Amino acid sequence: MLGRIFTEFFTLVEAEFGEDMLDDIIEDAKLPNEGAYTAVGNYDDLELIRLVMALSARTHIAVPDLVKTFGTFIFERLMLIYPKMTENISDLFVFLLGIDSVVHVEVKKLYPNASLPKFHSSIQEDTLIMVYQSDKNLPDLAEGLIIGAGRYFSENLMINRRLLDDGSTEFRITR
Amino acid sequence: MTTADDNVDIKWRKRLYRERLARQAAEALLEEKSRELYLLNLDLEKQVIQRTHELHAALAKAEVAVKVKAEFLANMSHEIRTPMNAIIGLSLLGMNAPIDKQHNYLRNIAGASESLLAILNDILDFSKLESGNVQLELDYFNLGEVIENIAMLFTEEVRRKALTFTIIEPSHLNVLLKGDALRLKQILINLINNSAKFTQKGFVKLEISVISQHEKEIQLQFAVKDSGIGMTEEQQKMLFHSFSQADASISRRFGGSGLGLVISQKFVELMGGKITCKSTPEVGSEFFFTLSFETATLGKISETRIAHPVKKTLAQRLAEAAESLENVRVLLVEDTPLNQQVASEFLRNAKLEVTVADNGQEALALLEHNTFDVILMDVQMPVMDGFEATKIIRENAQFAELPIIAMSAGVTFDEQEKCQHVGMSDFIAKPINPVQMLEKIKQHFIKQI
């Protein structure tokens, strides 16, 4: 998992729950590097999961909800840090259709070793269908990111989510 | 006991420590990336140098190839112009000469034309060999017949210089060999011509000996020896390398395309052998190669013989070829007036009946109301070419067996194959050899009856 995700997670925890909460969950999660993450590093996915579980235990908020919230938050942050990702794109569906071919290509330039999810996207009438597939299998994060994208483009979205037989997740998005 | 202040202090220390660790990790990563970049850059530079080097090498090679081609062209142009000069000059002289002298001019024009044709054939063979477009014909043949053929064909030079020409062949060779007899003959004639060219007096000898013989295989050595001017070792090294003769000035003295040996060598290589040369200046040269052949049985015994350099005159050979062709009806389809004249006069002189069509369409019209025994068909013609015309003629069941012989200046394998494909019976290359033309007409005419 990219270090950027960890540092952004810390920013969210500090902003929403305070610096002490961050200290506490770092301690609870028993991390190998004592929670010293740099955005340009690469870390074990499990460490993030342990952090989220620690946060869930302390805040009594369910893990999927936390992850979704984090996804929504991180989208806004990423657009601030990498404004190029949305350059010349004014339509949400166009942006979402180009996740694999535009956004992930840019990510690979910075982090050649990043393992990124795959989206098979298509449009049926007014519905955008995105099938999410990832080794990390974090559909909640994906959903949060889609919500974040909707907010970024100031659109109200209806998102229907369904688990497919092969373990991938299908999102049907209408606006 | 710790105070609240102490607690805050510890918290801040922890956070500071965490930040420091993260910064150090980031710096380490940065250094690592820099190093990777540096190494990558180094590798790229190396690659650029190597590629540049490769490009230079390829360029140099291409330049050499272009130069070789240009030299080849210049050389061939020279070789072609030499007999052309004779042909044009003698024609002009002949036009203004008294009749009794004209025959001599014409004979020399014919000779120069033959040289020109030989050079063109060499160039064609050479370029086919260069592009790997040569296929050997693998058929059973009688070595004795090949040798007889060579003895018959005896070269102008051997006769003119009164050299002794000897053929020594193995006795009791009672088998047929599997291979390309025509190409083998070409190689041997090339070598013999070559020897004859560089030999002023004495002998030229073709010696064929059995190296080993098993039930279904035989290994033969072919050697052509002469008592000519010979070559130094340096000259020998040059022999098969380029299409030049041992030295450039030699071609001025001795003529020829300078391709004969290279062509022979390539053919021998295709057959699985290699021509080797032994030579001593002022004593003579020997060219030899060994080939293996599959064999089939045949009861024929041959023996050493001295070739008799008797050559029939053209008139004699024409008369022989024309036998029993009297009044055979030929439809000549040919668009060029001069070529019409050449072919039809040869045919009429041999007492055949000739009707001329200017193109395929005219030929079709003539076929509707006339009967012909043989069609001689040019390939490239305006209005309707020979391929198209042949296809249409063959569609009519009435003409399914009518001999159609292609007559074309396109002598590539492809063109011959296309002729066969559209249903032509045979192929004659231009320039027309009248004896060959008559023989082919006879062959197909007889087959038809």
B420-440 pLDDT, tens digit each: 899 999 998 888 888 889 999
Mutate to test the interface with B, among A27, A38, A109 (most CBs of B within 10 A): A38
Give residue B158's pLDDT: 67
Q: Which has the higher per-residue pLDDT, B235 or A151?
A: A151
CA dist., res. B258 & res. B119, Å (int): 9
Q: Are B108 and B86 a contacting pair, CB within 8 Å? A: yes
Closest to B19 measured CA to CA, from A114, A18, A15, A10: A10
Partners of A33 on chain B (C-beta within 8 Å) are 21, 25
Is A19 close to B21, i.e. CB distance below 8 A? Answer: no
Average of pLDDT values for B113-138?
82
pLDDT at B247 over 60: no
Closest to A117 measured CA to CA, from A64, A167, A157: A167
The single residue listed with the structure tokens 């109301």 is B369
Averaged pLDDT score across all residues of chain B: 84
Q: Are B406 and B385 a contacting pair, CB within 8 Å? A: no
- Taking CA atoms, B227 is separated from B147, B169, B204, B285, B404, in Å, by 21, 20, 7, 7, 48
Candidate from B287-296, B309-318, B387-396 with smallest mean pLDDT: B309-318
pLDDT at B251 over 60: no
Average of pLDDT values for A24-53?
92
User: Residue B111: which pLDDT band, with cuts at 50, 70 and 90?
Assistant: confident
Tens digit of pLDDT for each residue in B391-402?
A: 999 999 889 889
Give residue B245's pLDDT: 44
Is A125 at the interface with chain B, CB within 8 A? no
ipTM: 0.70
Share of chain B above pLDDT 90, in %: 31
Tens digit of pLDDT for each residue in B342-356?
A: 899 999 988 999 999
Give residue B409's pLDDT: 83
Give residue B42's pLDDT: 92
B416-432 core/surface letters (b: 16 or more CB in 10 A; e: else): bebbeebbbbbbbbbeb
Q: Which member of A19, A20, A36 has the closest CB to residue B25? A: A36
Closest to A35 measured CA to CA, from A60, A13, A61, A57: A13
pTM of the model: 0.52
Give residue B302's pLDDT: 42
Tens digit of pLDDT for each residue in A74-121?
A: 999 988 888 888 888 889 999 999 898 888 988 888 888 888 899 999
CA dist., res. B51 & res. B39, Å (int): 18
Residue B286 tokens read as: 């020997």
Mutate to test the interface with A, among B29, B30, B36 (most CBs of A within 10 A): B29
The single residue listed with the structure tokens 């009967």 is B371
pLDDT at B447 over 90: no
Average of pLDDT values for B262-272?
90
Is B18 close to A35, i.e. CB distance below 8 A? Answer: yes
Closest to B216 measured CA to CA, from B292, B137, B303: B292
CA dist., res. B278 & res. B231, Å (int): 9
Give residue B2's pLDDT: 62
Tens digit of pLDDT for each residue in B145-198?
A: 888 878 776 655 566 777 888 888 887 777 888 999 888 988 998 898 888 888
Q: Give the bridge partners for B355, in sequence order.
A: B331
Give residue B372's pLDDT: 94
A34/chain B closest Cα distance in angstroms: 7
Give residue B416's pLDDT: 82
Q: Classify A75 as helix, strand or coil.
A: helix
Q: How far apart are the first and last CA of chain B?
A: 132
